[in-house]
Structure 1
Amino acid sequence: MPARESAPDAQSGPVSGRNGAPGAHPGPVSGGSGGVDAHPVPLSSKGRTAGGGKVTRWAVRGAALVVAAGAWQGLTAADARVWLRFDRLPTLGEIAAQAARRLATQTYYLDLLQSLIRILTGFGLAAVAGIAVGVLVGRSTRAADVLTPLLEAVRPVPAIALVPMAILLFPTDEQGIVFITFTAAFFPVMVSTRHAVRALPTLWEDAVRTLGGDRRHVLANVVLPGILPGVFGGLSVGMGVAWICVISAEMISGEFGVGYRTWMSYTIVDYPAVIVGMVTIGLLGWLTSAAVEVAGRRVTRWLPRAEGSRS
């Protein structure tokens, strides 16, 4: 039968370009009767917009800190009692004077070094062990059957509650504090890694095995790259929890460190020194957590990201 012919209309016909030739690149879109062309935003304009937005975000963050500091100064200087008793807290001037005195002493930097050694040692060991155990439990049913009951029985116990056991087990307080830090960071890393392994699509592994890959190729080319976002999420959480526990352990059984010095300041009712210690702990925790996040972005730079998460 002869094919049924129909005249091309405006919807089904070929697209005409500027010169009316079929198949040519279409011209710019006209905005109604005004004929205004819609041009894409130049790349340089996008860069300027992104740069301006980043500056604005940092300005907002700085303004929030200034407002908080101003509120602290106003309430403490006025000895305000609005349910909370700010009359017992030091003013910003007293805190700054104490900070200047502490920064001029060698003890302050020795405490910083001691706390950093403890946190990096415990966290580093926890990262290696947590990733290894998480991959093992996530990949092997037999390993999960053996290890999961023990891990889930210990995981709800707060790491700081293990201080008495650490004192009994380890010959020195230093090793006990590192053990507490390790325990605190291990479980967030292990759990995040385990969930990331189990969330991997089985199609990826099947594709590697179809191409002749063995278990080693699957681990190196599918499992480890695929779990990196989840692993770094666990590392970020683990770093924060590790700081909480190392400071608490230093307060209980330490001889040096930021936590130990902060607790000693409290026992002699030196509240400006206590605030200086708290600020120091906050800065150390923020810097180390930011370092983990930056490392995670560098390692997983192939991931698509939202525009707001780049700064």
Structure 2
Amino acid sequence: MTTLEQPEVLSDAEGVVEERDPETRRRSSPWRSRLVRVASVLAAILAWQLLTAYDVRLWLRFDTLPTVTDVVSAFGTQLQTDLFYLDLGQSLIRILSGFGLATVIGVATGIALGRSELFADVLGPLTELARPIPAIAVVPVAILLFPSDEAGIVFITFVAAFFPIMVSTRHAVRALPTLWEDSVRTLGGGRWDVLARVVLPGILPGVFGGLSVGIGVAWICVISAEMISGRLGVGYRTWQAYTIVDYPGVFVGMITIGILGFLTSGAVELLGRRVTRWLPRGERA
């Protein structure tokens, strides 16, 4: 059973009563939510500094990890080098190339699997057999298949992002109400009209759900591929720091990867909200 949300009644010392309606509370809640998020990050950083600075050794050996100040110092040093930005650009080129290809091919394949019974019969079993294989397990195949490491890393990134996007698109197509298509056909629309007016707008929420998952998985795999067979990139540089026992450098790489993943995932989420502005929104910020 649902109940109507009642205005919140506030009173001051003089007995003046003020009503705060639900819409006002919704406008004020995003700031509180942002403050809580920032506070949680700061608390984690403070705990990291205290545990490592005082060489705490409980079940976990925090005394072997670099402190926050060590990592910040290493980060500042790397920001002054050209190699850091070269690695950054190389990883971004790889992720955008593989993810871009996966978006186009994954959405097209998902629509075809959801709309065409023949296509689903021919390629459906192959996609379901290949989908459980981790993309990082394709590294030996990519090394043998492609003439350069660069093409192989892009291919691994493509494979990682392709399946979440394809599966989400396929489910979104199959979940579309048939009434929408029947309405367009009743008004004289053809196959392409149904695709443009019903399928593509209707599957957008599902597609962007797959894109959000795909970009995260793609980052995991591109970093792993760079560690295994790369020559440049954030993943390669992080692994190189580990091999020379530069643990602050390892954490610099990890933090850089986290920031890149956060920014690209946020960009996908923002684009999704812009494209699907016609959808009803919840109360979260």
Extract structure 1 runs of 4+ deviating beyond 4 A: 39-42
Corresponding position of 1:291: 267
For residue 139 of structure 2, the aligned residue among 147, 151, 163 is 163
Q: 1:37-52 maps to which residues of 2 (within 5 A)?
A: 46=23, 49-52=25-28
For residue 177 of structure 1, the aligned residue among 142, 149, 153 is 153
Could you tell me the TM-score, scaled by structure 2's length? 0.92
Corresponding position of 1:247: 223
Answer yes or no: is 1:60 the counterpart of 2:36. Answer: yes
Answer yes or no: is 1:301 the counterpart of 2:277. Answer: yes
Residue 90 of structure 1: CA displacement?
0.3
State the distance in 2 between where 1:51 and 1:233 align.
26
Corresponding position of 1:139: 115
For residue 254 of structure 2, the aligned residue among 251, 256, 278 is 278
Corresponding position of 2:8: none
Amino acid at match of 2:63: D
Corresponding position of 1:151: 127
State the distance in 2 between where 1:51 and 1:194 align.
36
For residue 114 of structure 1, the aligned residue among 90, 101, 114 is 90
Answer yes or no: is 1:229 the counterpart of 2:205. Answer: yes
- Contiguous gaps of at least 5 residues in structure 1: 1-38
Q: 1:252-271 maps to which residues of 2 (within 5 A)?
A: 252-271=228-247
Specify the SS of the correspondent of 1:84.
coil
Corresponding position of 1:87: 63
Residue 40 of structure 1: CA displacement?
8.5
Residue 41 of structure 1: CA displacement?
6.0
The superposition leaves residues 241-295 of structure 1 with CA deviations (integer Å, 9 ceiling, x where unpaired) of 0000000000000000000000000000100000010000000000000000000
Corresponding position of 2:81: 105
Specify the SS of the correspondent of 1:160.
helix
State the distance in 2 between where 1:126 and 1:78 align.
47
Q: Which has the higher contact order (CA 8 A, sep 6+)?
A: 2
Task: Give the structure with higher Rg (CA).
Answer: 1
Corresponding position of 1:19: none
Q: 1:261 to 1:203 in 2, by over 3 A?
A: same
The superposition leaves residues 204-230 of structure 1 with CA deviations (integer Å, 9 ceiling, x where unpaired) of 111110110000100000000000000
State the distance in 1 between where 2:20 and 2:239 align.
57
- Contiguous gaps of at least 5 residues in structure 2: 1-17
The superposition leaves residues 22-61 of structure 1 with CA deviations (integer Å, 9 ceiling, x where unpaired) of xxxxxxxxxxxxxxxxx9867xx945x4342111111101
State the distance in 1 between where 2:138 and 2:159 align.
9
The superposition leaves residues 160-212 of structure 1 with CA deviations (integer Å, 9 ceiling, x where unpaired) of 00001101110100000000000000000000000000000111111110110
State the distance in 1 between where 2:279 and 2:28 align.
24
State the distance in 2 between where 1:61 and 1:166 align.
40
Identical amino acids, percent of aligned pairs:
67
For residue 204 of structure 1, the aligned residue among 180, 186, 194 is 180
- Please identify, of 238-247 and 147-156, the stretch whose mean Cα deviation from structure 2 is larger: 147-156
Corresponding position of 1:130: 106
Specify the SS of the correspondent of 1:82.
coil
Corresponding position of 2:3: none
State the distance in 1 between where 2:166 and 2:70 align.
43
